[in-house]
Amino acid sequence: MINSIKQEQARKSQELQSQLSQCNNALENSEELLEFATRSLDIKEPEEFSKAARQIKDRVTMASAFRLSLKPKVSDSMTHLMVDFSQERQILQTLKFLPVPKAPEIDPVECLVADNSVTVAWRMPEEDNKIDHFILEYRKTNFDGLPRVKDERCWEIIDNIKGTEYTLSGLKFDSKYMNFRVRACNRAVAGEYSDPVTLETKALNFSLDNSSSHLNLRVEDTCVEWDPTGGKGQESKIKGKENKGSAHVTSLKKHTSGTPSPKRTSIGSRPPAVRGSRDRFTGESYTVLGDTAIESGQHYWEVKAQKDCKSYSVGVAYKTLGKFDQLGKTNTSWCIHVNNWLQNTFAAKHNNKVKALDVTVPERIGVFCDFDGGQLSFYDANSKQLLYSFKTKFTQPVLPGFMVWCGGLSLNTGMQVPSAVRTLQKSENGMTGSASSLNNITQ
């Protein structure tokens, strides 16, 4: 519209300028004719006067001033450029204004935390048929109090939820709690957030303790792999450290007086623990322990072996597992062992006793530890089929333990005890094999 007005202004200005130029030319011609007529009045001879009169008549007839119109060819009217707002006016009159949606209310009773999934349910304080969708936000936290506006972690957003319930699945519970809030949206605007709700998401989280592993094991947080070249070139360094350590201990003994404490007495009978020393790490002793002790409660984690893994064990052990001890060969450790070398065997081990298991080795093994109930069970992680169960009484905190040779293992922690496992525990309790049954079986 602005461009059209500017173009029209330029056109009209040009028309008026042209008309003004023509009028100026006509005025100049008229002035010349008037001067000629004035001079003609002084002519005395009749013939000359008549001749001048005829010239004046012809010039007047041909003069442009008598053919020009002094009315402007254009006007300042812009009525032909006015906008027709009738359609827009009709649209404005039919507008419907939507109210801002009220904040939803999350019902903690209807929320469910199970199988590493969280189902959040909410409702509107009053019926609102203008709601188009909801936005759910969540974040993990270890803060024990009421949800804070600002936390160390940012809110994660799930948009375009059509119902009043949503399930987050496949979560890793690596924090104590999760905060949730939700807001309603119509086609115009999003409403206020609901009051945040905190749900408990506790689970056992642990990593592999590199300091407890064999030198030929390459250990990461949740992965361990057997490396036959891991110990080469480092034995001399370790021996050197051992020699220095023993010399230091000898010098301390010479300068120490009085009776040592009971803890020092018990430890003094042992050689200093040096990672990579060869005392425990023989035969099946390519072991590594978890870095978090289990002292109470029920816990669950899963282990997956590489396809070409020749031998591995999965279980638990007391913190006091000796350097010479192997998983399942003492009364301080319990495990199931898989051997794919020369002959395929699958067995449960404890206290140097073995019980062969007549089941297929699963792709992933689930480990359930009920410390207070004195139960350690192994499951097919996919089908939740029970593989074997130890029944005992744990007298000390236990650590997850693993052995691997010619292959690798990967862990999945931060998991709740699956519902299927809880159900099987109730039905199978007292009906499965136990540690006492291994006492009657020779290796």
Domain 105-201, CATH among 3.90.226.10, 1.20.140.160, 3.40.50.720, 2.60.40.10 = 2.60.40.10
pTM of the model: 0.65
Q: Return the percentage of the chain with pLDDT > 70, whole number.
A: 82
What CATH superfamily classification does 208-213+278-430 receive?
A: SPRY domain (2.60.120.920)
Q: Which residue has the tokens 């350590």?
A: 245
Q: Which residue has the higher pLDDT, 438 or 266?
A: 438
Residue 173: what pLDDT? 92
C-alpha dihedral over 346, 350, 354, 357, to 10 degrees?
-40
Nearest to 392 by CA among 353, 423, 437, 358: 437
- At residue 29, does pLDDT exceed 70? yes
pLDDT, one tens digit per residue, over 372-424 is 999 999 999 999 999 999 999 999 999 999 999 999 999 999 999 999 898 88
pLDDT, one tens digit per residue, over 323-339 is 667 899 989 999 999 99
Q: Which residue has the higher pLDDT, 311 or 152?
A: 311
- At residue 433, does pLDDT exceed 80? no
- At residue 61, does pLDDT exceed 90? no
- As a whole number, the mean pLDDT across the chain is 81
**Strands 177-185 and 133-141, how do they pair?**
antiparallel
Residue 371: what pLDDT? 94
CA–CA gap between residue 57 and residue 49 (Å, rounded): 12
pLDDT, one tens digit per residue, over 63-118 is 776 677 778 888 877 766 777 889 999 999 988 888 899 999 999 999 999 999 99
